Amino acid sequence: MNFKQKVINTIKMKGSAVCVGLDVELGKLPQILKNEKDPVLKFNKEIIAATKEYSAAYKPNLAFYEQFGTKGFEYFEKTLELMGDDVLKIADAKRGDIGNTSKKYAKAFFETFNCDAVTVSPYMGEDSVTPFLEREDKGVFILALTSNKGSFDFQMQKMPDGRYLYEIVIEKISSWNINKNCGLVVGATHPQMFEGIRHLAPDMPYLIPGIGAQGGDLENTVKYGFVKDEVLALVNSSRGIIFASDGPDFAERAGEEAKKLRDMINSYM
């Protein structure tokens, strides 16, 4: 089964297009966890248990684990195990380097950690991305139009032919999508661009950050970014779900926010 079909099947089975971003910050953990031996793992365990019913995917950002050194990679690996096998496991690593280096990154995330997908930067071109595309069952969400303000520095620059740079990037990515395992990272802070992007990449899954703390437009994201018959988008929320409360009810509140986001997405569809 190729990655595109895996996304479709998982969203359909879960009845949800929610992706929970596990970007754990020690300073934001509930006081009730401060005396835990491994507060990060305890936090992730409780969050996953509370949100799994309402989520199709989880996306741990590697920076929040690498900061702890070797211990962080242990947290990352054990967090992946906590997710189980009925959700998509997306490593938000934003890798992308010369071919031989990318091969090692692909081996790390797809073989050592057994993630379903990884985020990749296309800035260095085709040979930096293709090592991630060799396995059709593993997905690569490639940065196309990101949700941060800095997206205007390069991605939103107009080229001499009138197109935006991100449109040229998407066109190039489409030519790499032989195994139907390319996806795009498209920020919900650019909802006015979604219709045009769907025209450029009608059959690619999207990973959509920017909902919640970044103020993305969920209704227009669903209206223009989703493919109705075969839902091809995962809407990510990190802080808005996992840090919904810093009290003893942190897990319960996270579950409520995940359910709320799922229900909102489904109602807009």
Q: Structural domain boundaries of the chain?
A: 3-263
pLDDT at 213 over 80: no
Its CATH architecture, for the domain 3-263, is Alpha-Beta Barrel (3.20)
Catalytic residues: 94
Helices (H), the chain: 3-14, 39-51, 63-66, 70-83, 99-107, 126-129, 165-176, 194-200, 218-225, 239-242, 250-268
pLDDT at 147: 81
Average pLDDT, the chain: 93
What is the reported pLDDT for 64? 97
Q: Please indicate, yes or no, whether the overall pTM of this predicted structure exceeds 0.85.
A: yes
Mean pLDDT in residue range 111-130: 96
The residue among 146 and 117 whose pLDDT is bigger is 117
What pLDDT band is residue 69 in, cutting at 50, 70 and 90?
A: very high
